[in-house]
Every structure is written in structure tokens, then in C-alpha cells.
Structure 1
Amino acid sequence: MLNTLRKSISGPLVKIFIGLLVLSFAVWGIQDIFSNYGSRIIAKIDKIELTAENYIDEYNQQLSMISRNIGRVITQEESISMGIDREVLRKLIIDGLTASEIENLKLGVSEQFIANKITSDATFYKDGRFNKEIFLQRIGYAGYNERTFFEQLIKSEKKQQLYNILSSGLKVPNVMIEAKNSYDNNERVVEYFILPKKKFITKYPSENDLKKYYKDFQNNFIKDETRDFEILTLNRKSVQGIVEVNAEEIKLYYEDNINDYFVKETREVYQFLFNNLAEAELAYKNTYKKEINNLISELNYETNDIFIGNVTKDKIADPIIASLAFSIEQNIYSEPTKGALGYAIIYVNKVTEEQTLPFNKVEVGIKEIILENKSDDRIIELYDVIEDARAAGEQLNSIANDLSLNVKAYSTYSGINSLGLDDEGNLPNEMKDSKLIELLFLNEINTDIDVLESEDSNTFTWLNILDVNPPYTKTFDSVKGELARNIIDEEEKKQESLYIKNTLDKIQATNNINLTANELGATVNTSLPFSRKNPSKIFSNDFIKIIFNSRINTTIAGKSPIDNENIILTIKEEIKSKDQSDADAKLTEATFEQQLNNDLFDHYINGLENKYDVTVYQENLNQLFPNNDE
């Protein structure tokens, strides 16, 4: 049954269905808890009664969404600790308040409007028109039937009407747009120089210095927990050597799929376009025995403008031009012909006739196709064999040997930390899969760990933890070299900071950046104007922020993104931004309006709690979570 199921889930829509089915398992346990409370009222918003069933539906949707996002099923305990139960209640109350206000304002939408909206949505199109089967299929994947989807659209449209009522006439103050424009586009000009590197003199730390540093920063020398483990990987590489393809299979595949190797005629087509027939005829008279590149030059065309490409007939959009291009001889100019874009002269530079690719040209590719297909089939067969062997208590290395898998199918690793790095700081290929690392540190020795299936390939990985190496503090003797390097690095940084401070003090004392730069043997440069929106690439992003947060004539230090060099600069000039272009101004205004509208709508809806009665029946709600102590 497993073989049949796995072979049948190659299509993307089926995989979506299976994904939804798996996620539904996450809430079955919770559904069992809820099963007896479906009609019980847990809250009342004005005249709207919120039932346990409403709550369950929303709660399950939230669980499914979060599980999809994090790539695993979350438990009820996790969901409660994350506050999902409270968020669901709050969302349903807000929805109830919105519905009450919509009802009070008598807002409505016609069913015909909704029907038109659905039938005009290209999401539900097939062959350029609305398709009922596609519609039902896609809303089904989203968890709706026709009735519930219709109802949800009506609710959304009514809510949009309320939103439009509240936001109509809202105007963003010009001062906000001007402030945003100034912040983004005001420019600065600076004078700067690269601070020459300096060799700092430091002495090697004494034994006492090393011991003191070790004592003060002992937590920095804790070796994280690591794990030793073995893995067995089943994929196409694993079955190399036990899957073979013979010449007869390749020949038979070629014969059975001969139509796949038929190649249509292709032509290199050039199209000269003219505004009228007179221009086209004049150009045509000059084409006699003229090489294509010479004609392109004489007519002041660019090759890219007139070269349609090396194409098949069906790839030329204009049927008149397509027929013409595939009827004239090679290296011949056509007579002027009126096409969809005007009068055209067509030239065909090269013709590759239609053909069925010979066997020897495609033999290697066919062998690879058959090998992949047979490997995938073999993987599915071996999956069951390996699972049975594991259930019988066989070791992974024995399984790999018994099945004659590729030697790289079985591997052991030691000292891997929670980042997937080994003791040398290297990342083994297998550790690039974050899910494998997660499994490694979520399980213990002798735990039966579920097989890990890769999402993007037909790959299965079995993991067995051999040993857990607890964290420990490295001994003083083992880290003496590291201690010395740290102390020396810190001393050099202190001296570098003092060097920078003294340089800044000199410039500020003389108010002359050139004088100090000359003393240091450096050259002062003047930057081009730059802004926050279009920053200079000379300075790091953090340095740009400091520059725009400092006053004119201030001298500051920062880093270059290149080689992390120290830069000293004086801010010389600020250039006020001119009025924005219409496009930029409209974009800024539209963004602000959207933000203001959203804030206003949220504030308005939250304020409805003072307008409508809201009652939460906490006892009924608590019964949905009998094991929750809150």
C-alpha cells in the first residue's frame, strides 16, 4: 500500500491534499476534547452568539497555519503556552464587533456582485474562461465549499465597505510628506580620509594575566553539547551500482517515445519594419545581393531590434509574418508585406529542417531518464525493506551492507553541535538540512527516530544517535593560546580606539582636516552628495546612520565596508531636498494614507467594545481545555 501511495503522489495538487490531510491530524486530539461542546455558547457580542464550534474551527485553522509555517505539528500544550487560545478568542470577538456594526449600519452586497467577482477571477479560469470544476477544486484545497466561500466573500466585501466609509476623505498632512521627503532625500557632502594603519606594540600576557582572564570570562570557554550519530541515506546515489540499464531498454524507450524526439523546422528570422509602403519598397530595391549586416547598417537599425530569433513557425505571433518567413528561401529578402506592426521585409539567415533526432544523438539522455526512473522505483522498494529491517532491530551499517548500497549511503559523525558544525567548525553536507539537526537534538540515544523525507527530492534519511557529549568548560591549559590571542586583540583594539580619538581631537582643535591628514600621510577626498535613500558606497551602513544623525562641521570616525578600514570625516554641507517627483510624492502619500486608514480602522473596531455588549462565558471556554491550569 505504501508503494502504491508513494507512486501516486507525484502531482503538486495531490501533494497539497496530502499536506492538508497530515495537518488535520494535528487537531484530531483537540477535536476529541472539544467534541461534546459544539453548541455551547462561549461568548456573546451584542446579538451574535459565539459557539464552541466557531471557536474550534478558528482554533484548528490557526494550528494548521502555524504548523505549516514551522514545518511540524504543534501540540495543544505548545499552542496554549504560545497564547493561541487567547488570540483566537480575541479575533472572534473583533469579528463579532465588526459584524454587529455592519448590521447596525445596514451595509449589504448583492449576490450578483459576488457571483461576478468570482467568475471574473482568473484564478478560476481554464482555457481563458471561468471553469466551475477548477473553482470547486481550488476553494476545496483552501478549506471551503461553495456555500462557505460565498459567505466569506460577502463578509469580506461588507467589511471593505465599512473600511471605505471610515477612510473616505482622509487626507495625509503635507508636513508628513515633506518630513518623509527630507528624511529620505536630504543630501550631505563630507571631506574624508582613510586612517593609515598603525602597528600597535603589545606584550605577550603573563601567566597571571591569562589565569585572570580565564577566571573572568570562563563562560566564553564552555564547549557546547555535541552528538555522535550515524545516518543511512537512501537516494539515487545510494542505489548506484544496483540499478542497471541495458542497450535494449534504451532502444525500446526511443522507439516508444519517438514523437518526443521530433524537432520542428527552425529559422533565423529578421524583420525590417517601415511606416509606409513607399519606405518599404525603396528599401527593398536596395536589398539586391546585399549582405544582411550591411543592410542593417544602411537602414540605421540595431540587430537586436530586428532579429526575431531562431524560432519555429508557431513562435511568431503575427500569422502573416509567420507564413511569409517559412515560405521564402534562405538568404532571400521578401517583398514588402503588411503585417500587424506595419510594412515588413523579412530575411531568413539560416534554416534547420524538421527532423527526428537520430538514436545516437539522444542515447545518453535516454539512459539517464531510464536510470532515474528505475532508481526511484528501487528507492520505494528499498524503503519498505529498510523499515522492516529497522523494526527487526538491525543496525544501519548492516542494512547498508546487506542491500549493497553505495559506500556513501552510510556515514558516521562525531562532535556535531546544534549548528551542525563539527569540532573544526566545518559543516558536513548532511548537516545543511536544518530538519536533520532538529531531529538530532530533539531525540536521545536508543530513540526510534522517524525517517526524514526530503521535500525537494526522492531522498530518505534514517538517523541513530550513538552518544550525547554534555557541555563542559574547557581546561585552562587547553585554551591558553586562545586566551593570549583574546587579550592581545583587546589591547590592540584599545590602542586603535585611542589612535582614532587622538586623531579626532587634533582635527577638532585645529578645525582643519587637511592639516591632520597631511601629518599622517593621508589624502583628503570630497564625497559626492549622498542621501539616506541613495547612500555612498564608501561608508558602511552604520556609518551612514551616524553621518545623518550628526551636525554640520562635526568630525566623526567610522568604518568602510571595504576591508573594514577606519575613515575620518568632517560633514561639510547639507543639501536640502527639492520637491519630489510626482511619482515619488504619490507613492509616499499613498503609503501614508494606507497606514493611517489601517490605524483608524483598527482603533474604530476596538472602540466598538464600548458600544456593544461583550460577554465571555469563561467557564464554558475553560471546559474546552480541561488540562489547562490557567
Structure 2
Amino acid sequence: MLDSIRNSAQSWLIKVAFAIIILAFVLGFGYSALQNQGSGENIMAYVNERPIFLSEFQARARMFYPNMEANTLLQDGVLQELFQLMVHQELMLEQAEAMGITASDNEVREYITQIPYFQGVDGYYDADLYDYHLASTGINPTFFESTVREQLILEKFQNYISLSVAVDEQHAREDFNYLAEQVTADLLVVNPEDFLNATQVLESDIETYYEEHAEDFEVAERVRLSYLLFTPESLAPLAEVSDEEIQAYYDARKENEYMQMEQVNAKHLLFKVASDADEETAQAAEAQAWEAHTRLEQGEEFVAMSEEIQANATNAEYQDLGWFTAEFMDPDFVAASFSLEPGTYSEPVRTQFGWHLILVEEHKEPQPTPLADLEEQIRQTIAERKAAALHDDLLDTAIVQVYAGDDLETIAQDLGMELRESDLFTKEQNLSDAAITEDNLDDIFALEQGEVTDWTVSVDSGSLLATVVESRPRELLPLDEVRGQVENLIHDNQAMLLAMARVEEVLDMVAESPALPPELEAQLVETPPMYRMPEYNQGSFIPQELTDAAFDAEPGEWLPQHYTVFGSFVLARVSDRILPSDEDWETARAEFMENAVDMERNSLLEAYVKALALNSEVNTVNSAERFWMKPVAESLQ
């Protein structure tokens, strides 16, 4: 629950602090999207007299919405919201400047030295690594440091504006009680499948249903294509890759991309200790671990001893961990296992899971993945890069041959390409190995059988030329072909009606008396505790509308309607209302108070920036929708 509160408290602050996101973007994707800042043609708007650059807007849109459709970006106002957030950032920077808030060179330097990209294996700042990362992504150091400076100024501004925020503990406790209160309910599940044996379907029922629902048994227009695919992957077999090229590609990456992390191959015996265990339980587990360690010191074999202890102690677990790196393991476990020599075991090691004895069998220092393991992968990568360069020439040659009257089979033979043939597919299904764009799909389905495309058909990662081998119009499937499906649908509908009748019967029954007959009481299933807020019930199968209704009812009271869960009808009786205890509050108090302050800071800062916006002047260079919103949305596709 506290995680959700924490995320909610910080959401708006995160949205307006864009600079650090741009740091991640330019480091991950390069500087090209931002390198044209400064030209008048690149300015999309002014906030008072501060410019907002189109290239920066595009970079942020690409970072936030890499897979969103252009129409969605426009119709849902996503890009407009992003633009407003950038306006808010400029307003904050302008106000910070007026208030004299700055970031010194020393602060910028300190911030940069803490960025992991620029730290060596020892965890300390490495100036050479800094120069390398900036140079390799084409980032101008002056621009980068200016972006860091803006981030620091924004953080200072936000902290200054919200400095006076305080939260009264009594009100915080009331909010906590409201958010942390839980409710449970007894559910009576009425599953339509339980009524299937009571249904009966006649031949006349099947024929009537088929006639009345004919559109449900129609198949959309379908085509089968013969086609030449021009993508890096499909053209890769045409590109020759030498052993020298593979070696050079490998050598350039073996010290970073292909470097394997340090690893150990180990076994361990764990004496589990629950996170909420008392001190006596933890000490007892530690004593077990030391006792086992003494047995090892006396010469017992690790595996045999561990298996025996596991069989006799309920809190003991023996496991062969195999090879692992330090990345996802407990730090204390890593420190112990990576310091052991092969063939040796540790003293008892405490982690969040309990007490461990560790036996290390093998140890591998960091080393590059052998070329033999990567050779085919590298060959394919280089071949696809070369093939990408062949794309335009091969496609142009093929189109010329189409105009000359050659069929696709002849063109495939001349170019050394594979002529592919699809299964029958609808527009919705699309081509299985290369999705055709929506506009081109309409053109493909408009082709006459045997007609060859004399234009470029756009697909994922490339193009194709195609001819329609077979075309089938929209058609109604024969009854004999769908008879079983129709019969099952009728059985399901009848079972649904019988189940609904049972639901109404039970609702009438509990309206008179909340007590159910014993045979129905025995069928009740209690829900896990439910919170008011849906984000706190993640993973729950209970519909939120049922939860909301349960919080409006008293224990023992039946909810007046049914709910649908996984195709079954559910009736619910509230069984308990659970308020958080004083102990719950004491456990959560510090973090809850901190997050309550964050939420107040969030609200204050949002109101402050909106007030700034009311007194500011924002001028777009051209009509927003016509000149930059739509092109930006389309550029992300």
C-alpha cells in the first residue's frame, strides 16, 4: 500500500523534472535529436521570451511514447500535455532565475561524478569514461553540463517553494485509517458451467440460431500472396561476410558488450529466518548454522550433510545454485561467496533470508564470451547491415523488371532471392512474417488475382513486391462447418440463463433473511482483505465495484446485486471491516508522514506553477496542430 502512496505523491514532481530524463535519453540514444538547437527554424514556441525547441520536444516524445500510434498521440491530447509540461519547466526555470537560484560549477561537477555511466569498476568517477561516453554519442560537453545545471536548479526551486509544508499527525492518522482500512466478504459463486448438463439443444435450435446470427459465422475477405521481401533479415543471405570482418567486429566489443561478469558456481545450506521473526528464533537458526559448520570442520561432506539436515529440520533448505553473478544476489551472500577459493566453504553468513553455509566449487574471473559462441550471431548482424545497404538497389531493379513484364518468379531467380508464399489471411490477421502497413493493405486487397504490385509495399523494417495468388470475398461459412460451434453457443446461453435464475432466487432469499440454507453456507468462499483504493488491490480478482459496495455496507449485510468474475456470477455478504491497529500506524507512521508531506509539496508546487502559467505569455511559432503536433506524432512511428 505504501508503495502506491509513494508513487502517487511523487508523480507530478517527476513529470516536471524533465532534465534528468533528457540525460538518460541522450546517453542512450545519442545527441542527434537535440544537436540542432539554436536555429530559428527549430523553435516551436516561446514561453515569455524563453524558446522551446522542436528537436527537444521530439526527443522527449520519442522517449516517453516510443510505441504509441500517431492518432492516439493526437486524439488523446498526449502531445499537448507533454507541451504543457515543457512550458511549466520553462516557467520554473525563469522564476528560479528571478529568485536568484543557481547551481555552481562545483555542484554540477559533483552531480556528474555520481552518474553511474561515468564511474569505473571501482565505483569512482573516471574522466576518461566521461569523455568517451560523451564523444561516442556525439554529445557536446557544454550542452550536457548545461542540462545538468538546469536539473539542479529545478530541484532547488521545487525544494524552496515547498519548504514550509508540514502535515498534522492527527489528520495523517485519519488519512491512514481511511486508506488502510480493509473489508472482507463471503462470496457465493454461481458458475454457468454447472448448469450445462441441464441444457438441451434441438436441430431446429441450431438452424434458427445459425440464421439469426449469420454475421457471426462470416469470414472477412482473404488473400494469398506470392511475394519478394526486402528487409535486412531476408536479404542477409545475399551479403558475404568474411572471417576477418567477424573478428574485427568481435574485437571491437569483447571488452564491453561481450564481456561476461565474474561468476561462481556454488551450493548452499540455508537455515531460514522470517523477516518478522523474533530475536530468539534468529539466534536459534544461527546456532543451527554454526553446528553444521562444526560438522564440516570435522570432515563431513557438504552435500550429504546438507541433504540430511534438510530432511530433518523444517527451516533448512539445501540448494545447488549453479553459476551466478553478483548482479541479482544478496550483497552479503555475494561478499562471502565471491571471496571463497574453489573447494572451500564459508562460515555462517547472515542475509535477509536467514543463515547460510556456502560451498564454492568453481570461480570464473570476468572474461569475454568466446568468439565461437558468438560467430553466427555476429555474421548475421554484419550481413543484415550490409543487406540494408543493398535494399534500394535490389528493390529498384525488381520494380524495373516488373514494368518490363517479368513475373516475380523470374525476378527472384535473377536477383538470387527467395520467392515466398503466404497462407490465406484477412486484413486483421495481416502477413505473418512482415506486417503490411494499413494503407498498403487496402491496396493489396484491391489487386486483381495475378496482378503484380508496381509500387513499393511498406512492411516492418522494409518493403515487398507481391502478386495475389488467390482471393476470396467475404463469405458465410456453411452450417456443417460450424455446427459444433453453434451447438456449444446455445448450450452456453441456456446455462447462463439457468445460472441467472439461480442468482435471482438467492437474492430474493437473502432479501428476506441474511442467513442462507446450510448447503449454500457451505459453498461460501471468503475474500482476502480488500482496500478502498484499487491500486492497493493489485492482482486481486475481486471487481472494484464489489469492493466499493462492500465499504458502503455493514458486516452481515448482503450486497443488493450480483457481480461477474471470470464468467461466473458472484453474490457477496460483507463479513468484516478491519481498521488498522495502533501497531500498524507506528510501523507505517514515519514513511506515511514523509509521503504525506510529499503529497502536500506536490499539490503546492502544482498550484504555484499553474499560477505562473496564468500570468505568462506562450506563443507558438506556427499553428500547433498543423505545423508541429501532427508531424511530431508521425515521426515517432
TM-score, L = length of structure 2: 0.59
AA in 1 matched with 2:526: S
CA displacement, residues 29-49 of structure 1 (integer Å, 9 cap, x when unaligned) = xx8xx64x97xx97573xxx2
1:602 equivalenced with 2:606 (yes/no): yes
CA displacement, residues 367-394 of structure 1 (integer Å, 9 cap, x when unaligned) = 9679858966885687566324323234
Q: Which residue is equivalent to 2:557? A: 554
AA in 1 matched with 2:578: I
The share of aligned pairs that are identical, in percent, is 11
1:391 equivalenced with 2:399 (yes/no): yes
CA displacement, residues 241-286 of structure 1 (integer Å, 9 cap, x when unaligned) = 99999xxx9xx99xx99x99xxxxx9988899x99xx999987883
AA in 1 matched with 2:506: T
Shift of 1:601: 0.7
Q: Which residue is equivalent to 2:575? A: 572
1:523 equivalenced with 2:522 (yes/no): yes
CA displacement, residues 523-555 of structure 1 (integer Å, 9 cap, x when unaligned) = 334637622356997856665555445443333
1:505 equivalenced with 2:471 (yes/no): no
Shift of 1:603: 1.0
AA in 2 matched with 1:286: Q
AA in 2 matched with 1:462: L
In 2 relative to 1, CA 541–125 (structure 1 residues): closer, same or farther, beyond 3 Å?
same
Q: Aligned partners of 2:45, 2:139: CA distance in 1, in Å?
A: 24
1:416 equivalenced with 2:426 (yes/no): yes
Q: Which residue is equivalent to 1:425? A: none
Shift of 1:600: 1.5
Q: Aligned partners of 1:167, 1:159: CA distance in 2, in Å?
A: 12
Shift of 1:569: 4.0
Any conservation in 2 of the 1:443–1:449 contact (CA below 8 Å)?
A: no
Any conservation in 1 of the 2:29–2:137 contact (CA below 8 Å)?
A: no
Give aligned pairs, total.
531
AA in 1 matched with 2:397: A
Shift of 1:506: 1.9
Any conservation in 2 of the 1:205–1:488 contact (CA below 8 Å)?
A: no
Q: Aligned partners of 1:234, 1:140: CA distance in 2, in Å?
A: 34
In 2 relative to 1, CA 449–443 (structure 1 residues): closer, same or farther, beyond 3 Å?
farther
Name the SS for the 2:228 alignment partner: strand
Q: Which residue is equivalent to 2:158? A: 163
Q: Aligned partners of 1:111, 1:539: CA distance in 2, in Å?
A: 54
Q: Which residue is equivalent to 1:110? A: 104
Q: Aligned partners of 2:264, 2:628: CA distance in 1, in Å?
A: 74
Q: Which residue is equivalent to 1:120? A: 114
CA RMSD of superposed structures (Å) = 6.5
Q: Which residue is equivalent to 2:228? A: 232
1:496 equivalenced with 2:499 (yes/no): yes
AA in 2 matched with 1:390: A
Q: Aligned partners of 1:206, 1:294: CA distance in 2, in Å?
A: 67
Name the SS for the 1:570 alignment partner: strand
In 2 relative to 1, CA 163–411 (structure 1 residues): closer, same or farther, beyond 3 Å?
same
Q: Aligned to 2:140, which of 135, 145, 160? A: 145
In 2 relative to 1, CA 389–181 (structure 1 residues): closer, same or farther, beyond 3 Å?
farther
In 2 relative to 1, CA 399–130 (structure 1 residues): closer, same or farther, beyond 3 Å?
farther
In 2 relative to 1, CA 267–80 (structure 1 residues): closer, same or farther, beyond 3 Å?
closer
AA in 2 matched with 1:523: A
Any conservation in 2 of the 1:189–1:574 contact (CA below 8 Å)?
A: no
Shift of 1:363: 13
Q: Aligned partners of 2:540, 2:626: CA distance in 1, in Å?
A: 57
Q: Is there any run of 5+ residues in structure 1 with no aligned partner, and where?
A: 1-11, 261-265, 354-361, 422-427, 455-459
Q: Larger radius of gyration, structure 1 or 2?
A: 1
Any conservation in 2 of the 1:558–1:566 contact (CA below 8 Å)?
A: yes
Any conservation in 1 of the 2:199–2:491 contact (CA below 8 Å)?
A: no
In 2 relative to 1, CA 513–120 (structure 1 residues): closer, same or farther, beyond 3 Å?
same
Shift of 1:158: 2.4
Q: Aligned partners of 1:73, 1:537: CA distance in 2, in Å?
A: 28
Q: Which residue is equivalent to 1:286? A: 298
Q: Aligned partners of 2:80, 2:235: CA distance in 1, in Å?
A: 51
In 2 relative to 1, CA 599–238 (structure 1 residues): closer, same or farther, beyond 3 Å?
same
Q: Aligned partners of 2:472, 2:433: CA distance in 1, in Å?
A: 22
Q: Which residue is equivalent to 1:187? A: 183
Q: Which residue is equivalent to 1:9? A: none
In 2 relative to 1, CA 523–87 (structure 1 residues): closer, same or farther, beyond 3 Å?
closer
Q: Which residue is equivalent to 1:462? A: 464
Q: Aligned to 1:101, which of 76, 90, 95? A: 95
Q: Aligned partners of 1:441, 1:374: CA distance in 2, in Å?
A: 31
Shift of 1:607: 1.0
Any conservation in 2 of the 1:236–1:379 contact (CA below 8 Å)?
A: yes
CA displacement, residues 219-254 of structure 1 (integer Å, 9 cap, x when unaligned) = x78876666544434789968999999xxx9xx99x
Shift of 1:595: 3.1
Q: Aligned partners of 2:208, 2:304: CA distance in 1, in Å?
A: 84
Alignment map for 1:174-213 (pairs within 5 Å):
174-175=170-171, 178-190=174-186, 192=188, 194=190, 197-198=194-195, 199-200=198-199, 204=204
In 2 relative to 1, CA 597–72 (structure 1 residues): closer, same or farther, beyond 3 Å?
closer
Shift of 1:148: 2.6
CA displacement, residues 97-139 of structure 1 (integer Å, 9 cap, x when unaligned) = 3234323322233221212211232222234443445435545
Q: Aligned partners of 1:549, 1:586: CA distance in 2, in Å?
A: 30
Any conservation in 2 of the 1:193–1:523 contact (CA below 8 Å)?
A: no
AA in 1 matched with 2:150: K
In 2 relative to 1, CA 627–398 (structure 1 residues): closer, same or farther, beyond 3 Å?
same
Any conservation in 2 of the 1:270–1:307 contact (CA below 8 Å)?
A: yes
CA displacement, residues 577-619 of structure 1 (integer Å, 9 cap, x when unaligned) = 3242655444444444333322221211121256x5x44567x
Shift of 1:142: 7.6
Name the SS for the 1:171 alignment partner: coil
Any conservation in 1 of the 2:456–2:463 contact (CA below 8 Å)?
A: no
AA in 2 matched with 1:146: P
CA displacement, residues 343-400 of structure 1 (integer Å, 9 cap, x when unaligned) = xxx99998999xxxxxxxx999799679858966885687566324323234544444
Shift of 1:164: 1.1
AA in 2 matched with 1:62: F
AA in 2 matched with 1:391: I
Any conservation in 2 of the 1:539–1:560 contact (CA below 8 Å)?
A: no
Name the SS for the 1:594 alignment partner: helix
Q: Is there any run of 5+ residues in structure 2 with no aligned partner, and where?
A: 1-24, 256-262, 270-285, 326-332, 352-356, 365-369, 448-452, 631-637
Q: Which residue is equivalent to 1:449? A: 456
Q: Aligned partners of 2:118, 2:379: CA distance in 1, in Å?
A: 38
CA displacement, residues 449-479 of structure 1 (integer Å, 9 cap, x when unaligned) = 366565xxxxx66254749989979699999
AA in 1 matched with 2:612: L
Q: Aligned partners of 2:190, 2:374: CA distance in 1, in Å?
A: 61
In 2 relative to 1, CA 365–284 (structure 1 residues): closer, same or farther, beyond 3 Å?
closer
Q: Aligned partners of 2:491, 2:337: CA distance in 1, in Å?
A: 77
Q: Which residue is equivalent to 2:14? A: none
AA in 2 matched with 1:102: A
Q: Aligned partners of 1:626, 1:320: CA distance in 2, in Å?
A: 59
Shift of 1:24: 8.3
AA in 2 matched with 1:605: V
AA in 2 matched with 1:448: W
Name the SS for the 1:392 alignment partner: helix
AA in 1 matched with 2:98: N
Alignment map for 1:230-379 (pairs within 5 Å):
230-233=226-229, 286-287=298-299, 291-292=301-302, 325=341
AA in 2 matched with 1:113: E
Q: Aligned partners of 2:358, 2:111: CA distance in 1, in Å?
A: 47
